[in-house]
Amino acid sequence: MTASSVLPSRKHKVVVIGSGNWGTTVAKLVAENTRGHPDLFEENVQMWVYEEKVTLPKDSPHYDASVGDEPQKLTAIINKCHENVKYLPKIALPSNIVANPSLQDTVKDASILIFNLPHEFIGNICRQIKDHILPYARGISCIKGVTVTDDNIELICEYISESLGIYCGALSGANIATEIANEEWCETTIAYNTPAGDVHHAANGVANDSDNGAAALTEYKDARGRTSKNKLTPVPGDYPSLDHHVLQSLFHRPYFTVSMVSDVVGVSLGGALKNIVALACGFVEGHGWNMTAKTAVMRRGMLEIITFGREFFPETIEEKTFWEESAGWGDMIVSCTSARNWRYSKMAVERGVSLEEIEKTELNGQKLQGISTTREVCGFLRAKGVESKYPLFMIVDRILDGTVNVEDIPELLRK
Amino acid sequence: MTASSVLPSRKHKVVVIGSGNWGTTVAKLVAENTRGHPDLFEENVQMWVYEEKVTLPKDSPHYDASVGDEPQKLTAIINKCHENVKYLPKIALPSNIVANPSLQDTVKDASILIFNLPHEFIGNICRQIKDHILPYARGISCIKGVTVTDDNIELICEYISESLGIYCGALSGANIATEIANEEWCETTIAYNTPAGDVHHAANGVANDSDNGAAALTEYKDARGRTSKNKLTPVPGDYPSLDHHVLQSLFHRPYFTVSMVSDVVGVSLGGALKNIVALACGFVEGHGWNMTAKTAVMRRGMLEIITFGREFFPETIEEKTFWEESAGWGDMIVSCTSARNWRYSKMAVERGVSLEEIEKTELNGQKLQGISTTREVCGFLRAKGVESKYPLFMIVDRILDGTVNVEDIPELLRK
């Protein structure tokens, strides 16, 4: 294969769907990179914002006396002040982020769609954009989570792929949004199994120079290694190849080290299932056990995540993703020592109240993702009759049920 | 191979060489198990104590008015009060621990020698016991550390094996002695590559029933997979087989979960080299970086430890030991969040003083093991000309030299 390439005449248009704490942070770093790589990307990054009205307090640096206390549109504030005052306050955003309240307008002509919003919204979002995206658009899901019913488990990026008929990879790692927004150093992992037709060399650059989907559709392997029933429209040859190099250029920053892998399953499962383990660690620590016990729980949890991957994604799972990547052990450690599910499960045990109570009093009714993940995954494991292979997961489920006490965790795991 | 066995007529005699904080803790759990398994072990556990005189304060529950302030022998206090008042105070020891000030008398007739003392003493200890041990004795080293010169790297258990002409395995894990002494739950890993002749079935139980070394000497593979130049005297057939089952029975407690593996190299390297990473984590945290940055340093450190194992022990290294075992990621996490090297390197950066200064003011002149490990390992890597593969290790060395600043760590690792 010759590596000589035709000079691309077009650039990738990148958009971010979602503008919470994490969505805005990712938009920030991506917008810094589109500006830094004018050869690869259009400079402006559209960011879809669920429109709401915000009243700026008088002591805000963005307070405008001529507007006064009149509530303003969040998109208007972001585009004028370059700050997401509601979800990522006090962080200056690059001026090439364009907040857009229209989902359809945001995704129009975009070749790279970055999904970053609470996972319960993804179904609705995909339905709304399905007929408005480019046929050769590609996705990166920053959404941690899996969709589990008693019958089936589906990765978020699989769901996006299937419902939109495009290829979608996943980003996950030992990441805390506000720290990254403050440009404190950390690492992440992007899993992307580049579809063959998206890499352009001179030969197929010529053969594949259409932007209207006229290029030959290509088969691709889905996350489970199956040839997808949907064929894929290749990225046209007049764009830069959409491969690991381009994605790294889009996400890597001096404060955000990106490692590229192909194992979409490993990265997605690690990001979703670690929340079950984080709950367990919060329980154990809240009960007064020390770091060595908590570490033992983390180790057991990691082994169960890998058992899960081997059992339900045997064709494509790569164990080394869990061991070596930020999306594996890295994310596990951070989630079990500094993140949300751990913090509030610890608090629940320390105060002797239920997690539902904590959600009410501390989280203003917001839900802890680890709880639904535990419920769904354990229901699925019971339906499959394999729960005995997952003692830690099942213990967390039974603690949530109130049928097991936290102090029984080591006893149940000691075998 | 038939599994029927002759009924053993003898029992293993277990001794612990060393009586510090960790040595006494291990003696405690082992003595609990020899009492619980009278079929396998002699009940009494001799523990070698470096004799010293101790004065019990008046408020000690062991204070004896008839002795008054007269200093007493530590061995006498342990054997009378069943407490190591100097190195593991306030922990009741089983009465079948027998403190013994004579090294030669301690090891006499022992079939299982547990080594648990600061690693700088091991050379002298081996010289003193060499001519006094049973030819078929077996060792377990609880000593974390490696002996490194510019030319060579030697695991502690390799050194014991070679200098005594016996087989020696290793115990390491996410363990903090005082917590285990208090029976707080944690896990550990024992690596032991059982010599073939030590497992007794009916057939070789008959062929191998001598206790004087008359049984045929056997070859064995050393930690690097080489056939040892020394042959091994098999454990006689009238003892219980000395295998994973017996060792697990000797070390496992309800509060101390033991996992048995065969990878002596992995367990030993993990226990030794993680201290370099712990220093780096202390530096990073002392400088004010957050958990995500520290996790990134841990991940890089783990990858370098495995690279080291692959490079210098290619025949026998099993990577899964690092990923899956308490002696791998488990020990790494605990060492980088709650243990000594991490704590004091963090303190040094917070106070803006050198580690030497901290050793003086906080450790009463005691040495931090991570410092000598870093110095020796990095000298070895430079001598081999492979330092570029170990950026994190080398950064720690250069910080100790004062030629790199702590704030440069992420920059140096960001590539």
A38-50 burial: b if 16+ Cβ within 10 Å, else e: eebbbbbbbbbbe
In a domain, B8, yes or no: no
A227 and A133 both lie in a single domain: yes
A166 and A91 both lie in a single domain: yes
The CA-based diameter of chain B, rounded to the nearest angstrom, is 69
What lies within 8 Å, CB to CB, of B92 at 6+ separation is B82, B83
In a domain, B77, yes or no: yes
pLDDT in tens, B249-277: 999 999 999 999 999 999 999 999 999 99
Angle of CA points A172, A173, A178, to nearest 5°: 100
What per-residue confidence (pLDDT) applies to B367?
A: 87
- Percentage of residues in chain B having pLDDT higher than 90: 79
Q: Minimal Cα–Cα distance from B295 to chain A, Å?
A: 6
Residue A145: name the closest of A58, A267, A309 by CA. Answer: A267
B319 and B204 both lie in a single domain: no
Cβ pair A356, A349 in contact under 8 A? no
SS3 assignment for chain A: CCCCCCCCCCCECEEEECCCHHHHHHHHHHHHHHHHCCCCECCCEEEECCCCEECCCCCCCCCCCCCCCCCEEHHHHHHHHCCECCCECCCCCCCCEEEECCHHHHHCCCCEEEECCCHHHHHHHHHHHHHHCCCCCEEEECCCCEEECCCCEEEHHHHHHHHHCCEEEEEECCCCHHHHHCCCCEEEEEECCCCHHHCCCHHHHHHCCCCCCCCCCECCECCCCCECCCCECCCCCCCCCCCHHHHHHHHCECCEEEEEECCHHHHHHHHHHHHHHHHHHHHHHHCCCCHHHHHHHHHHHHHHHHHHHHHHCCCCCCHHHHHHCHHHHHHHHHHHHCCHHHHHHHHHHHHCCCHHHHHHHHCCCCCCHHHHHHHHHHHHHHHHCCHHHCHHHHHHHHHHHCCCCHHHHHHHHCC
B117 and B75 both lie in a single domain: yes
Domain tally for chain A? 2
Q: How many CA atoms lie within 13 A of B38 on its CB side?
A: 2
Residue B172: name the closest of B27, B343, B330 by CA. Answer: B330
Task: With cut-offs at 50, 70 and 90, classify the pLDDT of residue B218.
Answer: confident
**CA A4 and chain centroid, separation:** 34
Task: Please say if the pLDDT value at position B211 is more than 50.
Answer: no
Please check if A367 is assigned to a binding site.
yes
Q: Answer whether A324 sits within 8 Å of B299, measured CB to CB.
A: yes
Among candidate residues B262, B292, B327, the one where a domain is terminated: B262
Interface test with chain A among B321, B333, B337, B413, by most A beta carbons within 10 Å: B333
- Calculate mean pLDDT across residues A55-72: 89
What per-residue confidence (pLDDT) applies to A104?
A: 98
pLDDT in tens, A200-253: 875 444 444 444 445 678 877 777 878 877 789 999 999 999 999 999 999 999
Task: With cut-offs at 50, 70 and 90, classify the pLDDT of residue B178.
Answer: very high
Task: With cut-offs at 50, 70 and 90, classify the pLDDT of residue A92.
Answer: very high
A252 and A310 both lie in a single domain: no
Looking up residue A168, the CATH number of its domain turns out to be 3.40.50.720
B212 and B307 both lie in a single domain: no
- Write out chain A residues lying below 8 Å of B337, CB-based: 291, 337
Please check if A212 is assigned to a binding site.
no
In a domain, B96, yes or no: yes
Length of chain B: 415
What per-residue confidence (pLDDT) applies to B167?
A: 95
Would you call A383 exposed, middle or buried from its count of C-beta atoms within 10 A (0-12, 13-18, 19+)?
middle
Distance between CA atoms of A377 and A392, rounded to whole angstroms? 12
DSSP of B191-246: E----GGGS--HHHHHHT--SSS-SPPB--B-TTSPBPSS-BPPPPTTSPP-SHHH
A172 and A195 both lie in a single domain: yes
Task: Please say if the pLDDT value at position B16 is more than 60.
Answer: yes
- Calculate mean pLDDT across residues B391-406: 94
What per-residue confidence (pLDDT) applies to A6?
A: 57
Task: Please say if the pLDDT value at position B331 is more than 60.
Answer: yes
- Write out chain A residues lying below 8 Å of B292, CB-based: 174-176, 179, 184-187, 334, 338
Task: Specify the residue for token string 């002749």.
Answer: B197
Distance between CA atoms of A20 and A142, rounded to whole angstroms? 12
What lies within 8 Å, CB to CB, of A338 at 6+ separation is A176, B290, B291, B292
Q: Minimal Cα–Cα distance from B411 to chain A, Å?
A: 8
What per-residue confidence (pLDDT) applies to B414?
A: 67
A257 and A293 both lie in a single domain: no
In a domain, A302, yes or no: yes
Please check if A21 is assigned to a binding site.
yes
In a domain, A83, yes or no: yes
Task: Specify the residue for token string 């579809």.
Answer: A195
Angle of CA points B71, B74, B77, to nearest 5°: 90
With CA atoms as reference, the chain A residue closest to B298 would be: A330
Considering chain B, what is the average pLDDT of its residues?
Answer: 91
What per-residue confidence (pLDDT) applies to A4?
A: 43
Q: Phi, psi (5° rounding) for residue A303?
A: -65, -40
DSSP of B358-402: HHHHHSTTPPPHHHHHHHHHHHHHHHHT-GGG-HHHHHHHHHHHT
What per-residue confidence (pLDDT) applies to A215?
A: 62
Among candidate residues B262, B291, B313, the one where a domain is terminated: B262
Q: Is A130 noted as a catalytic residue in this protein?
A: no
B172 and B252 both lie in a single domain: yes
Considering CB atoms only, which of A186, A292, A319 is closest to B176? A292
* Count of Cβ atoms closer than 10 Å to residue B372 Cβ: 15
Looking up residue A330, the CATH number of its domain turns out to be 1.10.1040.10
The predicted complex's ipTM stands at 0.90
Please check if A248 is assigned to a binding site.
no
Task: With cut-offs at 50, 70 and 90, classify the pLDDT of residue B169.
Answer: very high
Q: What is the DSSP letter of B63?
A: -
Considering CB atoms only, which of A296, A334, A410 is closest to B292? A334
Please check if A251 is assigned to a binding site.
no
For residue B292, give the H/E element and its range: helix B291-312
Task: With cut-offs at 50, 70 and 90, classify the pLDDT of residue B196.
Answer: confident
Task: With cut-offs at 50, 70 and 90, classify the pLDDT of residue B215.
Answer: low
Q: How many CA atoms lie within 13 A of A297 on its CB side?
A: 36
First to last CA, chain B: 54
Distance between CA atoms of A273 and A374, rounded to whole angstroms? 8
Q: Answer whether B292 sits within 8 Å of A322, measured CB to CB.
A: no
What per-residue confidence (pLDDT) applies to B6?
A: 57
Q: Minimal Cα–Cα distance from B389 to chain A, Å?
A: 16
Among candidate residues B231, B262, B293, the one where a domain is terminated: B262
Task: Please say if the pLDDT value at position A175 is more than 90.
Answer: yes
- Percentage of residues in chain A having pLDDT higher than 70: 94
Q: Answer whether B295 sits within 8 Å of A184, measured CB to CB.
A: no
Task: With cut-offs at 50, 70 and 90, classify the pLDDT of residue A54.
Answer: very high
* Count of Cβ atoms closer than 10 Å to residue A324 Cβ: 23
| C-alpha pair distances (Å), B97 with each of A259, B13, B38, B131 | 52, 12, 15, 24
Q: Minimal Cα–Cα distance from B297 to chain A, Å?
A: 9
What is the C-alpha radius of gyration for chain B, rounded to an integer number of angstroms? 22
A197 and A241 both lie in a single domain: yes
Q: What is the DSSP letter of B304?
A: H
What per-residue confidence (pLDDT) applies to A207?
A: 40
In a domain, A187, yes or no: yes
Min mean pLDDT across A31-45, A119-133, B62-76, B119-133 is at B62-76
List the structure tokens of A291: 């770091």
Active site residues of B: 274
Distance between CA atoms of A127 and B202, rounded to whole angstroms? 71
- Write out chain B residues lying below 8 Å of A289, CB-based: 184-185
Interface test with chain B among A295, A337, A338, A415, by most B beta carbons within 10 Å: A295
- Write out chain A residues lying below 8 Å of B319, CB-based: 323
Distance between CA atoms of A340 and A346, rounded to whole angstroms? 10
A174 and A73 both lie in a single domain: yes
- Percentage of residues in chain B having pLDDT higher than 70: 94
**CA A395 and chain centroid, separation:** 27
- Write out chain B residues lying below 8 Å of A184, CB-based: 289-290, 292-293
Q: Answer whether A295 sits within 8 Å of B176, measured CB to CB.
A: no
Task: Please say if the pLDDT value at position B1 is more than 50.
Answer: no
Q: What is the DSSP letter of B166?
A: S
A257 and A390 both lie in a single domain: no
Distance between CA atoms of B317 and B266, rounded to whole angstroms? 6
pLDDT in tens, A355-396: 999 999 999 888 899 999 999 999 999 999 999 999 999 999
In a domain, B40, yes or no: yes
- Write out chain B residues lying below 8 Å of A277, CB-based: none
Q: Answer whether A303 sits within 8 Å of B326, measured CB to CB.
A: no
- Containing domain of residue B368, as a range? 270-413
In a domain, A205, yes or no: yes
Cβ pair A264, A272 in contact under 8 A? no
pLDDT in tens, A272-317: 999 999 999 999 999 999 999 999 999 999 999 999 999 999 988 8
